[in-house]
Chain A
Amino acid sequence: EPEVTQTPSHQVTQMGQEVILRCVPISNHLYFYWYRQILGQKVEFLVSFYNNEISEKSEIFDDQFSVERPDGSNFTLKIRSTKLEDSAMYFCASSRWANTEAFFGQGTRLTVV
């Protein structure tokens, strides 16, 4: 069964460093998303991406965040200068169409120290 894969599974970084979280969405999907979940809290929407551009973003997704689809398979989330409060699980998701089900990866646990 096709799945969304995320790498790495765990990333530890120092405050102020840049990190890139990588995702390979399901191959025939057109819509891509990043969500995050701080430990013990709700899953929060960060950004959606369609047709090579951001279609929607939340207040969390400020200038420190960016997304890119550098080739036909990868979808990346970059945090330019990490803060302690960026520590969370980051989930990538994809869906075939706008209103069909989203498939999630297993997440990357980002720890900022």
Chain B
Amino acid sequence: DAKTTQPNSMESNEEEPVHLPCNHSTISGTDYIHWYRQLPSQGPEYVIHGLTSNVNNRMASLAIAEDRKSSTLILHRATLRDAAVYYCILRGAGNNRKLIWGLGTSLAVNP
């Protein structure tokens, strides 16, 4: 299973943008880049995913490097509710449907 590397923790101020980095140098051509987050005492929550092109949705943006060896999750204006652990996960195509979780980045948002 391809691995990802994320900083253990990051801090942001409310209403400021947050850029959460992820390195995945061993990504294969068919791996999708998924981001999930887990708020305290809750189940994981899907944030966004992409393959090659940058992606935007109502929660966040995903910027994928041209060589796909890294990506950045962008929260445009952090709120207190965005304080969570953010996981960057590579998910293969075909039969490899499981999500392999690392320790993620614990994001603290200061008021």
State the A residues within 8 Å of B (CB). 4, 31, 33, 35, 42-45, 48, 50, 55-56, 58, 91, 93, 95, 98-99, 101-107
Interface of A is mostly: strand
Of the candidates B94, B100, B102, the one whose C-beta lies within 8 Å of that of A98 is: B94
Contacts of A91 in B (CB 8 A): 43-44
Contacts of A48 in B (CB 8 A): 97-98
Contacts of A98 in B (CB 8 A): 93-95, 97
Given contacts A42-B101, A45-B99, contact A101 B46 (CB under 8 A): yes
Verify B45–A42 contact, CB threshold 8 A.
no
State the CA gap A55–B93 with chains docked (Å).
14
Given contacts A42-B103, A99-B32, contact A104 B44 (CB under 8 A): yes
Interface of B is mostly: loop
- Taking the closest CB of chain B, its distance from the CB of A6, in whole angstroms, is 8
Contacts of B49 in A (CB 8 A): 101
Given contacts A43-B101, A101-B34, A101-B49, contact A56 B43 (CB under 8 A): no
B:12-38 near A, CB below 8 Å:
32, 34, 38
**Residues of B within 8 A of A (CB-CB), count:** 22
Of the candidates B43, B95, B96, the one whose C-beta lies within 8 Å of that of A106 is: B43
The 5 closest A-B CB pairs, nearest first, are A104-B43, A101-B46, A43-B101, A45-B98, A98-B97
Residue of B nearest to A42 (CB): B101
Given contacts A99-B93, A101-B49, contact A33 B98 (CB under 8 A): yes
Of the candidates B42, B97, B100, B103, the one whose C-beta lies within 8 Å of that of A55 is: B97
Verify A56–B44 contact, CB threshold 8 A.
no
Contacts of B68 in A (CB 8 A): none
